[in-house]
Amino acid sequence: MKRGKGMKYVGDSRVNAEKTSQIPKDYSEYPGRTEAFWPNFLLKEWLVGSVFLIGFLSVTIAAPSPLEGLADPTDAAYIPLPDWYFLFLYELLKYDFASGPYILFGILVLPGLAFGALLLAPFLDNGPGRRPATRPVAVGMMILGLSATMWLTYESAAAVDWKQIAEDNKPIPESEQMEVDMDDPGYDVYANSCLSCHGDSLEGGAAGPALIGTEYSGEEIKDIAVNGVGDMPADMFDGSDEELDDLVEFILSVNEQANE
């Protein structure tokens, strides 16, 4: 830009009155097949971007974002999981050397060293060479850290039954939630024997499936309550036959109500 005398301004402003060219520079004299950013290169970038966007939009349409049931602080049986990109930290804390008395190693020292080294990488790896072969230590550390992170993430994710979790935690909006009749004589029996695992409105929990939508008949429910089924231990119910009848009637009536 020119400075000093001879500059022309627009009116009494400080805006330069001299016109800049609107035609891109010709980069053909530059070494290699150099081209202008605008519009030549940007066009190609936006082509890539468009292809990406189509894929991304397809994902959003094909896969609804997950939403579990409304947060219930009393649901003590819920097993928490962080978002996938924090799984490696979550998994790290399960190891003996990063938990219990060594928890500080797991939550501060190790992540601190890893992220600190990442932040200061240009100063730790300050040799002149740029090719990976000329800086084996830095590249080795990065590959080590990267594979450790991927391994931890895999370990953590592989142990989880994602489908089961999604199945167990389908959202139920309040408007569609069951109003359980607490005056029903069967409710007391239910509260004593079943509620702690199957939830206070038969919605199920981590320890027991939902009883709404059960396919068992009344007789079968009686049998299960007394003798157990699958993971459910026997003798969860230990009352009179009359109470058992009340319980079964209660469970079936809630199911009928749910089917309406």
Partner 1 sequence: MSKKKNQVSRRQFLNYSLTGLGGFMAAGILIPNLRFAVDPVLKAAGDAGDLTNVSLSVDDITEEPLRVDWDVEQVDGWYESEVNRTAWVFKDENGDIQAFSPICTHLGCFVNWEGSEDHPNEFFCPCHNGRYEKDGTNIPGTPPLEPLHVYEHKVEDGMLFLGDPRPREEA
Partner 2 sequence: MLQKLYDWIDDRVDVTPIWRDIADHEVPEHVNPAHHFSAFVYCFGGLTFFVVVIQILSGMFLTMYYVPDIENAWESVYYLQTQVAHGQIVRGMHHWGASVVIVMLLLHTMRVFFQGAYKKPRELNWMVGVLIFFVMLGLGFTGYLLPWDNKAYFATQVGLEIAEQVPFIGTYLKTLLAGDPTIVGAQTLTRFFAIHVFFLPGALFGLLAAHFILIRRQGIAGPL
Q: How far is the CB of 74 from partner 1 (least distance, A)?
A: 7
CA of residue 19 relative to chain centroid, distance: 53
**Quick one: what does residue 142 bind among partner 2, partner 1, none, with the CB cut-off 5 to 8 Å set by partner type?**
partner 2
**Quick one: what does residue 160 bind among partner 2, partner 1, none, with the CB cut-off 5 to 8 Å set by partner type?**
none
Cβ–Cβ < 8 Å for 248, 256? no
The answer to the question of residue 142 lying near partner 2 (CB under 8 A) is yes
Q: How far is the CB of 229 from partner 1 (least distance, A)?
A: 13
Nearer to partner 2, 134 or 217 (CB): 134
For residues 230-252, one letter each, b for 16 or more C-beta atoms within 10 angstroms of the residue's C-beta and e for the rest, the string is eebeeebbeeeeebbebbbbbbb
The answer to the question of residue 79 lying near partner 1 (CB under 8 A) is yes
The answer to the question of residue 207 lying near partner 1 (CB under 8 A) is yes
When binding is defined by CB under 8 A, the residue of 77, 108, 118, 160 that contacts partner 1 is 77
What lies within 8 Å, CB to CB, of 29 at 6+ separation is none
Give the 3-state secondary structure of residue 232: strand
Identify the helix (H) or strand (E) that includes residue 219: helix 218-227
Give the 3-state secondary structure of residue 94: coil
Q: Rounded distance, CA 179 to CA 193, Å?
A: 20
Window 56-115: residues binding partner 2 (CB under 8 A)? 56-57, 59-61, 63-73, 75, 78-86, 90, 93, 103-104, 107-108, 115
When binding is defined by CB under 8 A, the residue of 101, 128, 230, 233 that contacts partner 2 is 128
**Quick one: what does residue 33 bind among partner 2, partner 1, none, with the CB cut-off 5 to 8 Å set by partner type?**
partner 2
Cβ–Cβ < 8 Å for 96, 102? yes
Binding region for partner 1 (CB under 8 A): 73-74, 76-77, 79, 196-197, 206-207, 232-233, 235-236
